[in-house]
Amino acid sequence: MLNFTKKNFKLLQLLLLVLVIMLILLFFMYNHKKDSLVIKNKMVKDKYESLVSIIGPSVYIEKDNDNNMKTVTWQHPLSKSAEFGKYGGCDYIRIRGHPSKKYHPHPADVFLIVGKYLNVPEHLFGPLKYASETINIEQLFVPDSYSNKYYNTGEKELALVTGSCASVTISVITIQFVIDMIEKYKGDTDKSVELYEEFRNEYYRRIDDYLCNKGITNPINWFNPEYFNEPNVMNIGDDICNNS
> What pLDDT does 239 receive?
85
Decide if 72 contacts 98 (C-beta within 8 A): no
Q: Looking at residue 17, what is its pLDDT?
A: 76
Q: How much is the pLDDT for 242?
A: 78
pLDDT at 74: 98
pLDDT at residue 14 in the model: 74
pLDDT of residue 16: 76
Strand order through the sheet with 92-102: 60-63, 69-75, 92-102, 108-118, 159-165, 135-138
**Among 181, 202, 200, which Cα is nearest to 132's?**
200
Read off the pTM.
Answer: 0.85
pLDDT score recorded for residue 24: 67
Residue 236 near residue 208, CB atoms below 8 Å: no
Distance CA 196, CA 26 (A): 59
Would you say 90 and 113 are in contact if contact means Cβ atoms under 8 Å apart? no
Look at the alpha carbons of 41, 46, 52, 55 in this order and tell me if their dihedral is positive or negative. Answer: negative
Q: How much is the pLDDT for 244?
A: 65
pLDDT of residue 229: 97
pLDDT 10s digit of each residue in the chain, 244 long? 445 566 666 777 777 777 777 776 665 555 555 568 999 999 999 999 999 999 999 999 999 999 999 999 999 999 999 999 999 999 999 999 999 999 888 899 999 999 999 999 999 999 999 999 999 999 999 999 999 999 999 999 999 999 999 999 999 999 999 999 999 999 999 999 999 999 999 999 999 999 999 999 999 999 999 999 999 999 998 888 877 6
* Contact predicate 44/97, CB 8 Å: yes
